[in-house]
Amino acid sequence: MRAIRVASAALLGMTALTFTAPVAVVGDGHGDGHGDGNNNITSFGFSVQPSTIAAGGRVTLSVDGCGHDAKVSSGVFDTVTIPKGQPSATTMVDWDAKPGALYEVTFQCGSESGHTDLTIATGRPTNPTPVPIPPVQRGVRAGVGGSIAGFDIKEIGIGAVLIVGSVGVAWRMSRRRTADDS
């Protein structure tokens, strides 16, 4: 029994250590602001999503950890300012962007700057106007059965009394049998 307890405690400790260990940041060449092999290391993170877009499409420009207004510029869209405290902004790629071309996007945060690439896909979107997003519809409340959602305190109290009472009666009966046996 002692070995099982020791093994369980060791496993629990290793799991906790795994979740609390710091994560090493390694550049992967995707221009995520943490290095891409070109000494493109900044104290703030940045990205362009999607990284491949057709001319006339919309891209989301994101910054993380920038304590200033971030300025994002490229030859394929107008300069965009992401205000301090906001994580992202969107912009439209110029219609005259050359299909298959690779454009550099520069993120400026204070005195630091970093860059990543934006690829223009071949072909053009068929509908340059944004498509309205349908309203969010609420689904059924599946999976809340047995939880405390919509609980009745009286029913919970009665259930607790019944459980405690049945455990008490079982204990009392087991004690009485031992007294009768002796």
Q: What is the pTM of this model?
A: 0.47
pLDDT of residue 101: 87
Average pLDDT of every residue of the chain = 74
Of 107, 121, 115, 75, nearest to 94 by C-alpha is: 75
pLDDT under 70: residue ranges of the chain? 1-40, 123-134, 136-151, 176-182
pLDDT of residue 72: 92
Helix/strand/coil for 104: strand
pLDDT of residue 154: 85
One-letter amino acid at 177 equals: R
Pick the CATH number of 27-121 from 2.60.40.10, 2.60.120.590, 3.40.50.1360, 1.10.4080.10: 2.60.40.10
Residue 180 CA to residue 182 CA, distance in Å, equals: 6
The end-to-end CA distance of the chain, in Å, is 32
Cα radius of gyration (the chain) = 30
Give the strand order in the sheet containing 58-64.
Answer: 45-49, 58-64, 88-92
120-143 pLDDT, tens digit each: 887 555 555 565 666 766 666 665
Residue 58 CA to residue 122 CA, distance in Å, equals: 15
pLDDT of residue 71: 92
For the chain, the structural domain boundaries read: 27-121
How many C-beta atoms lie closer than 10 Å to residue 33's C-beta? 27
17-32 pLDDT, tens digit each: 455 544 433 334 444 4
Token output for 135: 């309203």
pLDDT of residue 123: 57
